[in-house]
Amino acid sequence: MMQIVVIGCGRVGADLAFRLFQRGHQVTVIDNHAKAFFNLDPEYHGRTVEGEALNRDVLQRAGLSQAEGLAAVTNSDTLNCVVGHLARTVYQVPYVVARNYDPRWRTLHETFGLQVVSSSSWGAQRIEELLYHVEMRAVFSAGNGEVEVYEFAVPRQWEGRKLAELIQQIDCAPVALTRAGRARLPEQDATLQREDIVHLSATLDGIETVRRRLGEDRKG
């Protein structure tokens, strides 16, 4: 069980606070508008503190000096960065995560060296993938979607060909190859069989090239 402070009680902060509370953590939510606490689920019984997140007395009342984690999830990138930086450097909070609200300010978070979640950028990429990439699906996302692990079944046209041929000169790496229900770490010279399940870690550009190669082969 951890003691966690959540800065911001909008939709993201309220949902996060309730999820943490449900898992048994001691949660305190800070927001400078009392009405924001109405966003919290009625079953939330953690603490709430009204006030400015940069006010030392507010942070003390929230117990930041004893906290093990802080999530700064307001719609102000500047506030999230500054509070996150204070939590790490002044209050020595071990785990700090900051929300990136506007993708144009992403570099600000990176300058502070914070763990950052850019919901707008990640969400846009996932929606793009789901709109027209039905033959492959992302099963794991690292960072904010810069690298993901994709899963796909080997089509008939690629049976008997080498995995290396599919992924050569592409920003991707094979993760696993599953055949008849058994997974293994694949060598790049592995020969593919129809209906093998392949998992690749790749950038979005890399997996686009894989899709294009498979598509061109089907057309041929």
Same domain, 154 and 83: no
Same domain, 140 and 208: yes
Same domain, 13 and 105: yes
149-176 pLDDT, tens digit each: 998 888 888 999 999 999 999 989 999 9
d(CA 155, CA 153): 6
Task: Pull the structure tokens for residue 158.
Answer: 């690629």
Same domain, 83 and 145: no
CATH code of the domain in which 187 resides: 3.30.70.1450
Q: Angle 145-142-149 (CA atoms, 0-180°, nearest 5)?
A: 85
Same domain, 49 and 141: no
pLDDT at 171: 87
Are the C-beta atoms of 71 and 79 separated by less than 8 Å? no
d(CA 101, CA 118): 7
Instruction: Please count the structural domains in the chain.
Output: 2
pLDDT at 219: 44
d(CA 50, CA 38): 12
Same domain, 102 and 57: yes
Q: Cα dist. 36→1, 39, 48, 196 in Å?
A: 26, 6, 10, 50
Q: For residue 44, which phi and psi values (nearest 5 degrees)?
A: -75, 125
Same domain, 112 and 90: yes
CATH code of the domain in which 40 resides: 3.40.50.720
Same domain, 30 and 112: yes
Say if residue 126 is exposed, middle or buried (CB neighbours under 10 Å; 0-12, 13-18, 19+).
middle
pLDDT at 218: 47
What is the full per-residue pLDDT of the chain (220 aa) written as tens digits? 999 999 999 999 999 999 999 999 999 999 999 999 999 999 999 999 999 999 999 999 999 999 999 999 999 999 999 999 999 999 999 999 999 988 888 788 778 888 888 877 777 766 766 565 557 788 888 877 789 999 888 888 899 999 999 999 998 999 999 998 899 999 888 999 988 999 999 998 898 899 888 876 544 4
Give residue 196's domain range: 122-219
Domain end position, chosen among 117, 136, 160 = 117
d(CA 102, CA 84): 16
The helix/strand/coil state of 141 is strand
d(CA 25, CA 18): 10
Domain end position, chosen among 117, 138, 170 = 117
Are the C-beta atoms of 202 and 136 separated by less than 8 Å? no
What's the helix, strand, coil split of the chain in %, to 5?
A: 40, 25, 35
Same domain, 45 and 80: yes
Cα dihedral across residues 10, 15, 21, 23: positive or negative: negative
Domain end position, chosen among 84, 117, 150 = 117
The total of other beta-carbon atoms located within 10 Å of residue 108's CB is: 18
d(CA 22, CA 16): 10
Q: Which amino acid is at 47?
A: R
